[in-house]
Amino acid sequence: MVGQIVFIALTLASIAWFGYNVKKVIRNIRLGKATNRSDQPQKRLMTMLSVAFGQTKMFFRPIPAMLHLVVYVGFVIINIEVLEIMIDGIFGTHRIFGGLGVLYNGLIGSFEFLALGVWLGCAVFLIRRNIIKLKRFSGVEMTSWPRTDANAILISEILLMTAFLIMNAADAKLQLIGSSHYISAGAFPVSQYLQALLPDTETSLITVERACWWFHIVGIFAFLNYLPYSKHFHILFAFPNTYFSNLDPKGEFTNMNSVTNEVKAMLDPSYTPEEAEAGRFGAKDVNDLTWVNLMNAYTCTECGRCTSVCPANITGKLLSPRKIMMDTRDRMEEVGRNIDKTGKGFDDGRSLIDTYISREEIWACTSCNACVQACPINIDPLAIITDLRRYAVMEESQSPASINAMLGNIENNGAPWKYAPADRLNWASES
C-alpha cells in the first residue's frame, strides 16, 4: 500500500510539473505576433504525417535516418508498456495484461528487440558525437550545455533500456523458480541472456526486479519533465511545427500590409487602404516575430543539418542558421523569465538583434533557402533573418554599403545596376 501511495503521488507530481512547464512554453510562444496558418488543413495534415511521423526529410542522410528511426520508434513503442506499469503501480498488480497470453508474449518479445535497437542506436550516436566528432555537431553555438544535453539524453535512454531488459531478466528468473506474485507471462528473447548475470536467491532477484521497475518509471517521469528544458522538446513539437509550417513556395517573401498600402496609394490616388495593424517594420526582438517563428525555435533539434549546407557558413562567414534558432529560443526564455519576475512590459535593454544575433550574421545570409530545405522538421531560420533585416533597413536605415548602393540603384534606375534603363539592351547592339 505504501508503494502504491508513493507511486500515485509521484505520478501526479510529475504530470503537474510537466503541465506547469508546458504552460510557460506556450505563454512564451504567444509572445509572437498572430499569423494565419489554418488554411489548407488536408495538405497540412499530410505534411505533418509525411515529415514528422514518416520522417521523410531525414532520409537525405540514410544511415543516421535509420538509426534515428530505430531509436524513435523503439522508444515510443516500448513506452506503451508504461500503461501496464501505471496500472500495476496504482493497483498493486503485476503484469496486469499477462492474461492476453500469446499476444502479450509477442508484445514483450518485440519490445525487447526494440530496446536492444534503441540501446545500440544511442551507443552509435554517442560515438559519432564524442569519438568521431562529426563537424556538424560543433560550432560556436554548441557550447557545453547543448553538448551535455545531447549526451545526457542518449545516456538516459541507454540506462532506461538497460533497466527494462534487466527487469525482464529478473522477472523471467522469478517466474522460473515459481515466486509468488510473479505470474508466468511474457517472452524474453533478449533478456534471457542476462539471467546468468543475476543472483539466484528469490529475495535478491525481487530486489533487482523492483529496483529496475522503479528506475524505469521514475526515469520516464524525469525524461518527461526534462523535455521543456531540452532540445528534445521536438519529440512533441515536431508534429504541430510541421502542421503549421509554411506551405508557400520556398523563397516567396511576405509583404507587409502597411507598406503595400503605401505603394498602392502612390500608384493609384483613388485607392482605399486596407486596414493594417500598426507596429514595427520587421523584428527587433522576439515579440516582433510570429508565434510560428517562436515555435520553430522551441522545436529546433540542434542537429546542424541547416548549418552544414549553409553556403555562407561553409565559406567561413559568421552565419549559422542553427545559432539563429538557438539564440531566438534563448532570448524568448529570457523574456519569459522577465515576465515571471516583473510582469509584462519590462524592458531589460536587450533585444534579439545585437544582443544575441549580430548584424554580420544576418547580412551574411544569401537567402538561398538551403537551411529550410535541409531541416528535417520544416523549421524556417530565413524567416527570422528576413525580419531582422527588415528592421535594420526600414526602422534604422542601417545596412551594408553594398545593400545601400543596390537599393539606391533600384530607386533611381529601376534595377540593381548603376546604368540607366535606356542602356539595358546595349549589350545586344554590340554583338
Evaluate whether residue 385 is within a structural domain.
yes
**Are both 178 and 318 inside the same structural domain?**
no
Task: Identify the pLDDT of residue 257.
Answer: 79
- Please state, in angstroms and rounded to a whole number, the distance separating the CA atoms of residues 324 and 149: 18
Say what the pLDDT of residue 165 is.
95
- The CATH number for 372's domain is 1.10.1060
- pTM for this entry: 0.89
In this structure, are 90 and 154 located in the same domain? yes
Let me know if residue 427 belongs to a domain.
Answer: no
Shortest CA distance to 54 belongs to which of 292, 376, 296, 381? Answer: 376
Residues 224 and 267 in one domain: no
Q: Which residues contact 103 (CB under 8 A, 6 or more apart)?
A: none
- The answer to the question of residue 95 being in a domain is yes
Does 330 lie in the same domain as 195? no
Q: Which of 221, 243, 265 is the last residue of a domain?
A: 243
- How far is 206 from 174, CA to CA, in rounded Å? 8
Q: In terms of Cα–Cα distance, which of 126, 128, 133 is closest to 154? A: 126
Domain boundary among 243, 273, 298: 243
Domain count, the chain: 2
**pLDDT tens sequence for the chain (431 residues):** 788 899 999 999 999 999 999 999 999 999 999 999 999 999 999 999 999 999 999 998 898 899 899 988 887 787 778 888 889 899 888 888 888 889 999 999 999 999 999 999 999 999 999 999 999 999 999 999 999 999 999 999 999 999 999 999 999 999 998 888 888 888 999 999 999 999 999 999 999 999 999 999 999 999 999 999 999 899 999 999 999 999 988 878 888 877 888 888 888 888 877 776 667 889 999 999 999 999 999 999 999 999 999 999 999 999 999 999 999 999 999 999 999 999 888 889 999 999 999 999 999 999 999 999 999 999 999 999 999 999 999 899 888 998 889 888 988 888 888 888 888 888 788 65
Domain range for 114 is 2-30+61-243
Q: 243, 278, 298: which is the final residue of a domain? A: 243
Within-domain flag for 198: yes
Going by C-alpha positions, the residue among 90, 70, 69 that lies closest to residue 8 is 90
